[in-house]
Chains A and B, each alone.
Chain A
């Protein structure tokens, strides 16, 4: 297929994409001798108080994000006071394993950081461990963590793009668009027609289109940002179950608040069946109101997190075998999975919006008879 432009064939584009992915292993930490795959993967999946850019995990280059704690008053300080300090090593008497945690210095000297969670030091100035977890109290943590920062950056990106698209139409009216609007118009029309209009009542769907557009673009953009291994991407935002919980709760609230008499009637007193069946179905339907957003939450979280884990595990093949020649196997496999992840990013956004539209449609449906 001859195409005009820099890439005269799809093969050249593929080879270029493949070569860019060679940098993905370099973007990971250059570890010392003991390379623990599980720990490395967890470190990349989980939220953190610093944004690690390159270099070894402790002591490399990172952006130290602000920590905001509510503990009898507001304390704000940079996480540098944890990460630039010295780790405290403690041997767990029960299992014999060495646990390492970071004790704060300066304004953070009453706190310690263990597995990216902040604990208050007890009177002796140490963390007491019960089994795997510290037994100390925890302050309320409102910090700007990696996920919060990624959320803010994703939100700014969406706002910039959407305001630019809106400005085009405001200036030029309802004409064939050019530029950024040209790329986004088919997507916005798809959400309006195939997602909203197809699933929600013909006369009522317009009210819900802004919510569905927000859900779709938020999830899609943040999924895509999660696939980019360097700033501004690389934070596993939509793979954080708290974030997907919030999105599912939003859908739940929109559904509950737009439920009409017919919807609640179907839940509590299902029409068209005998009375014993009505009473039998009532608890099932009530639980059903909550399991549907729960499934939305788990679906998005597990899809995105599993995708990231697979890509990280495939790249770790090189590090586990300690031989760069394994890159010949690892990089094409990671590339293939990453292409699949791009599809999954779009699909999960589309699906979340589509299922939300289905639930809203069921809530505003008029009785058939």
Chain B
């Protein structure tokens, strides 16, 4: 009963950042899979490009999460 969890706008902000990341990476994954379906020989290159793009987007989303952590912590 002593675990004090208080909501804050920072948490909502972090959630929005994660929402954006989810949408972006979902689109990348979809396009990558479609590309592999069209051209199975290029699967290796497409996979590498997908991983790089996904990690870049995740980096940006984590900026948002870090700002959320900073805003929520005292």
Contacts and interface: CB of A to CB of B under 8 A. Distances in A.
Which of B59, B63, B74 has the most C-beta atoms of chain A within 10 angstroms of its own C-beta?
A: B59
Interface stretch (A30-38, A140-148, A329-337): A30-38
B65 interface: yes
A35 B3 contact: yes
A329 to B, nearest CB: 17
Interface in B49-74: 51-52, 55, 58-60, 62-63, 65-66, 74
B37 to A, nearest CB: 23
B2 interface: yes
Contacts of A295: 59-60, 63
Interface in B21-71: 48, 51-52, 55, 58-60, 62-63, 65-66
A36 B63 contact: no
A355 B54 CA distance: 13
Interface stretch (A154-162, A219-227, A299-307, A361-369): A299-307
B56 to A, nearest CB: 8
B18 to A, nearest CB: 10
B4 A298 contact: no
A36 B66 contact: no
A298 B2 contact: no
Contact of A299 (B3, B5, B48, B55): B55
Nearest to B14: A306
Contact of B58 (A33, A34, A303): A303
Contacts of B65: 302, 306
A194 interface: yes
Interface residues of A, number: 23
A194 B2 contact: no
Contacts of A132: 74
B3 A36 contact: yes
B2 A36 contact: yes
A37 B5 CA distance: 9
A351 interface: yes
A320 interface: yes
A337 to B, nearest CB: 15
Given A35-B2, A194-B48, A306 B55 contact: no
B65 to A, nearest CB: 6
Nearest to A303: B62
A298 B63 contact: yes
Contacts of A10: none
A94 to B, nearest CB: 13
A67 interface: no
A195 to B, nearest CB: 10
Which of A34, A37, A298, A320 has the most C-beta atoms of chain B within 10 angstroms of its own C-beta?
A: A298
A299 B4 contact: no
A351 B63 contact: no
A247 interface: no
A299 B74 CA distance: 22
A118 interface: no
A298 B51 contact: no
Given A37-B5, A298-B62, A298-B66, 19 more contacts: A33-B2, A36-B2, A36-B4, A37-B3, A38-B3, A38-B5, A132-B74, A194-B48, A295-B59, A298-B63, A299-B58, A302-B63, A302-B65, A302-B66, A303-B58, A303-B62, A348-B55, A351-B52, A351-B55
14 contacts: A36-B3, A37-B5, A38-B3, A295-B59, A295-B60, A298-B59, A298-B62, A301-B66, A302-B62, A302-B66, A303-B58, A306-B65, A347-B55, A348-B55
